Structures are given as structure tokens and as C-alpha cells.
Amino acid sequence: MGLKGSKLYSIFAMKCPKCHKGQLFKSKAAYSRNMGAMHKTCEHCGERFEPEPGFYFGAAYVSYALTVALWVAWYVAIITFESLGMYTFSFQEDAVTFIVGGIILLIVLLPLIYRFSRSIWINMFVSYSEEAHGRGA
């Protein structure tokens, strides 16, 4: 079966959770001026991407979870690289470098975190429909 038709596909491809064909965001590139702009409805099946006002307020919780996961991944990465002796200074001994590096990483990844949190959030409420997938052109 693979990723097609699964929630993971919708989340990572930033596709409509219902038909997996329409795009959630107007711009494909996360690093563009309109990175946050979403379609109101799905271009393919007509699914509403904002079922109620303030729907994405809850996406902040997802964003928070992703941020925590990112810090954990960042920490695991540096202790791994350090154990491999890949650099001479120590992030573990230098908390400031660890925190500054983590914040820079966070800022760089912010557009992706923003999009993923919305993509994950809508996927928690809308399920894939074979019928919607086949609808339209």
C-alpha cells in the first residue's frame, strides 16, 4: 500500500486530508512570502480547510509538540556528533551555544513547523475518502 492514502502522505505532502489531491497551501514553497496562506476549500473535492473560525487555534498545541521534538532531536544530534568526535568544542559543556544553536534551528524551521502543525491538525479531524479522491477532474 505505501504512503498514498495514509494520513502520513497527506501530512508530509501538505495535501487535502480528504482527497489527498488538492494542496492545503497556496504556495508550494514553505519559504515564500505567502508561506502561511491556505486555500479556503479544496480545489479538488471542495473540503473546507477551515471548518469553523479559529479552527487552527488548536494547531498551536501541535506546533508546541513539534518544537519540543525538535529540541530533543537537536540534543540527540549534538551528543551523537560529539561522541563521534566530529568537532572539538562541546555543546554539552556550553549551554549557551546549545541554546543559541537550537533557537537558530527553530527560526530556520519555523515555516515548516507552522505548515506541519496545520497539516497534522486538520488530519486529526478529517479522514481520507476514496470517493472524494475520485471526484472531480
Quote the longest CA-to-CA distance of the chain: 58
For Zn ion, the binding residue among 24, 42, 120, 122 (CB under 5 A) is: 42
Identify which range of 22-30, 50-58, 83-91, 98-106 contacts Zn ion by CB under 5 A.
22-30
CA–CA distance, 18 with 58 (Å, rounded to integer): 19
Asked whether position 44 contacts Zn ion by CB under 5 A, the answer is: yes
Residue 12 identity (one-letter amino acid): F
Residues 2-21 that bind Zn ion (CB under 5 A): 16, 18-19
Q: Name which of 26, 58, 30 is nearest 40 in CA terms.
A: 26
Element (H, E) at 74: helix 59-83
The three three-digit cell numbers of residue 116, written as one number: 506541519
For Zn ion, the binding residue among 11, 24, 38, 45 (CB under 5 A) is: 45
Identify which range of 4-12, 39-47, 53-61, 75-83 contacts Zn ion by CB under 5 A.
39-47
Indicate the residue among 47 and 102 with the shorter CB distance to Zn ion. Answer: 47
CA–CA distance, 26 with 67 (Å, rounded to integer): 24
Asked whether position 47 contacts Zn ion by CB under 5 A, the answer is: yes
> Where does this chain bind Zn ion (CB under 5 A)?
16, 18-19, 22, 42, 44-45, 47
